[in-house]
Amino acid sequence: MILRALICGLAAAVLLVQPATAQDRRVAVTFDDLPFQTTDEVLCDPTRLMKTTEDFVAMLKPLDTKGTAFVNEGKVCEVERSSLLPRVLKVWLDGGLDLGNHTFSHINIHRNTAEAYLADLDAGATYTRAALEARGGRLHWFRHPYLFTGETQEKHDVLAAGLAERAYTVAPVTIDNNDWMFADVYRKAEQIGDEGLKTRIGAAYVAHMTTVLDFFEPYSAEITGGREPAQVLLLHANSLNQTYYPQIHALYLARGYRFVPLEEALADPIYQHPDTYVRAAGISWLHRWTRTDGRPIRWEPEPPAWIVAANKAPASELQGVANAP
Ligand SMILES: [Zn+2]
């Protein structure tokens, strides 16, 4: 009886594992908000910003992510920009990553005209384009800040036409996950020097990324009739990922993913799917396609309540909020 139960258990375990191995899983990883999600102080300090950048890229390099990183040129202090940005971007390119435009100022289309948005996009191309062209590359990737693509049909269409006219390729996101929220709480824990809390936030982050994948894998296969499409993972360049990205990377490898360049992921036919979604919401393209197909959206898991609360709290109240029962 025990043996039979064991064999049944084993068979069930094999069945559970099989879908993972049967799928050809691919992911393109992207890092937004370059040069780094950090304080203005660091963004104005050449020594600290270079060190932060070098450490992040040194962490990524041995993992061979084939990633693409999206730049907000305006985040670097104006006085330092012309000398510092070329050096920062060179580190990323030397690390084997591609670069894209994420607008100059991380502009919010909901609060601006489409014309102002396109002007901000153009202003954000100066150093990134030069850095790419200096080594025979071309600036063509674009990632919408907040994943906002225009909340009215008119703005949406003006943006889309403006991007096409400039020969940009939009970089959609399928695996959206709120890593920025964990990173904000992590930065506050760094400010107050609470190492125990930093570890708890990191563990919660890795667990959350697992539940997000558990959700998006079958959800994405519903759009394609059972096949998991090549995914595009959105992450941000910040201190949380400096420490925890290797664990996220290992999580994907353990689930059978191959890391591919963005252009290879976007060659998947799903990225030709019509998208008629126009709302004031920055959401996964999987949701946009689901809605376009006339099916109801099911939302991905939210971060734990204590992370959501800690994200809203100032650093001075962080410990009280994070340790609340
Ligand atoms: Zn961003």
Task: Tell how far the Cα of 110 is from the centroid of ligand 1, in angstroms.
Answer: 15
Is residue 150, in this structure, part of any structural domain at all? yes
CB 256 within 8 A of CB 21: yes
Task: Tell how far the Cα of 314 is from the centroid of ligand 1, in angstroms.
Answer: 21
Determine the pLDDT at residue 318.
92
pTM: 0.92
Determine the pLDDT at residue 22.
66
Task: Tell how far the Cα of 52 is from the centroid of ligand 1, in angstroms.
Answer: 18
Determine the pLDDT at residue 16.
47
Task: Tell how far the Cα of 240 is from the centroid of ligand 1, in angstroms.
Answer: 15
* Whole-number Å distance between alpha carbons of 228 and 242: 29
pLDDT in tens, 14-47: 444 444 456 789 999 999 999 999 999 999 999 9
Work out the number of other CB atoms within 10 angstroms of the CB of residue 302. Answer: 13
Determine the pLDDT at residue 322.
87
Determine the pLDDT at residue 110.
96
CA angle 208, 174, 40 (to 5 degrees): 70
Task: Tell how far the Cα of 125 is from the centroid of ligand 1, in angstroms.
Answer: 15
Task: Tell how far the Cα of 290 is from the centroid of ligand 1, in angstroms.
Answer: 23
Among candidates 110, 124, 71, 121, which has minimal Cα distance to 93? 71
Is residue 176, in this structure, part of any structural domain at all? yes
How many domains does the structure of the chain reveal? 1
DSSP 313: S
Determine the pLDDT at residue 52.
98
Determine the pLDDT at residue 30.
98
Task: Tell how far the Cα of 284 is from the centroid of ligand 1, in angstroms.
Answer: 14
Is residue 263, in this structure, part of any structural domain at all? yes
Structure tokens at 85: 């940005």
Is residue 60, in this structure, part of any structural domain at all? yes
127-to-59, 72, 136, 142 alpha-carbon distances in Å: 24, 10, 14, 15
Is residue 233, in this structure, part of any structural domain at all? yes
Structure tokens at 3: 């043996």
Structure tokens at 313: 């709290």
CA angle 226, 264, 55 (to 5 degrees): 115
Among candidates 171, 220, 167, which has minimal Cα distance to 31? 171
* Whole-number Å distance between alpha carbons of 119 and 159: 11
For residue 208, the enclosing domain spans 24-322
Work out the number of other CB atoms within 10 angstroms of the CB of residue 22. Answer: 11
CB 30 within 8 A of CB 173: yes
Is residue 66, in this structure, part of any structural domain at all? yes
Task: Tell how far the Cα of 33 is from the centroid of ligand 1, in angstroms.
Answer: 5
Task: Tell how far the Cα of 188 is from the centroid of ligand 1, in angstroms.
Answer: 19
H/E element holding 32?
Answer: strand 26-34
Residues of the chain short of pLDDT 50, as ranges, are: 1-20
Q: Which CATH number does the domain housing residue 257 bear?
A: 3.20.20.370
Rounded (to 5) percent helix, strand, coil in the chain = 60, 10, 30
Task: Tell how far the Cα of 155 is from the centroid of ligand 1, in angstroms.
Answer: 19
Task: Tell how far the Cα of 236 is from the centroid of ligand 1, in angstroms.
Answer: 7
Helix (H, G, I), strand (E, B) or coil at 293: coil
Among candidates 32, 130, 36, 49, which has minimal Cα distance to 84? 49
Is residue 6, in this structure, part of any structural domain at all? no
Is residue 19, in this structure, part of any structural domain at all? no
Q: Could you list which residues have their CB under 5 Å from ion ligand 1?
A: 32-33, 145
